[in-house]
Amino acid sequence: DISTHSVAGDLPVKNILRIKAIKDTSKNDLDFGFIKDKTSIVTIVGEKFMAQYNVEYLPVPEFKGYQTRIQITPQDMTPIDNPDVTMSETEMRNYAMSALKRKRTYHSVSSKAYGIKADLNNIYTVGDFVFIDVTYTNSTNLKYDIDQVRFKIDDKKITKATNVQSVEIEPSYILNGINSFKRQFRNVYVFKKFTFPGNKVLNIEMTEKQISGRVISLQLDYSDVLNADTL
């Protein structure tokens, strides 16, 4: 939130705020229409904190030597109680990085197709969230360009006479957002806690950016989720 029309701001990415002075075209001075010595307030609200900064316009000769990049430090933050956010993205990332340091404990959940192998490494729970750690290995000489990774709760057994019922779920956080890999790719996907019946599976489906591209599916039983460890 910016308290003046003399300052404009945008978010080029979700963790960077850019602001700049907007010249008042009705004035011909070099101060962009700012009132000298008067400050404006920029309020930044994150998932679990709020920070406020005073913004004061300085003419170019006075501006030299001032910082143009400011990092919001913990001492500038005021904690806020947001009931819609039980875990921030920073916390999710820290837990996901911790998961990467653990050795694989699920040795029987894997699948192969078109020279691509998918392995479930681990499943963890932290509070109301589930962390799923997966590794993909490419044994071919063709780089794999990732189109998308989808997560669906599907029927475990499908017959020709069965009406397929599939429910797609979206991760709350994805650790690595890479678009391709040559040999191996490991990622951690974070979900709000979910359940599904024993006659269904969680299907993790990765597709390739090609016409008739390679598709690899990894299916998790609900018992795999119930055996999740803690971080």
What is the separation of C-alpha 89 from the centre of its chain, rounded to a whole number of angstroms?
7
Distance CA 191, CA 230 (A): 14
Q: Is 30 helix (H, G, I), strand (E, B) or coil?
A: coil
* 98 shares a domain with 19: no
Residue 60: helix, strand or coil by DSSP?
helix
Residue 147's Cα: distance from chain center in Å? 17
Give 198's strand partners: none
Q: How many CB atoms within 10 Å of residue 228?
A: 16
User: What string of pLDDT tens digits covers the 231 residues of the chain?
Assistant: 566 666 777 777 777 777 777 765 555 555 555 555 456 778 877 766 778 777 776 666 555 666 777 777 777 777 776 666 678 888 999 999 999 999 999 999 999 999 999 999 999 999 999 999 999 999 999 999 999 999 999 988 765 555 667 899 999 999 998 999 999 999 999 999 998 988 899 999 999 998 878 999 999 999 999 999 998
Q: Is residue 124 part of a domain?
A: yes
Residue ending a domain, among 85, 113, 139, is 85
Tokens of 109: 């959940």
- Count of structural domains within the chain: 2
Tell me the C-alpha distance between 52 and 41, whole Å. 7
Tokens 């599939």 locate to: 166
CB atoms within 10 A of CB 94: 13
Residue type, 84: D
Residue 231 and residue 188: Cα distance in Å, rounded?
13
Q: Are residues 181 and 123 in the same domain?
A: yes
Are 219 and 201 contacting, i.e. CB atoms less than 8 angstroms apart? Answer: yes
Boundaries of domain holding 65: 7-85
Q: Is residue 222 part of a domain?
A: yes
Q: Is there a single domain that holds both residue 129 and residue 194? A: yes
Of the candidates 85, 120, 153, which is a domain's last residue? 85
Q: Is residue 168 part of a domain?
A: yes
Does residue 177 fall inside a structural domain?
yes
22-46 pLDDT per residue, tens = 765 555 555 555 555 456 778 877 7
List pLDDT tens digits, range 129-161. Answer: 999 999 999 999 999 999 999 999 998 876 555
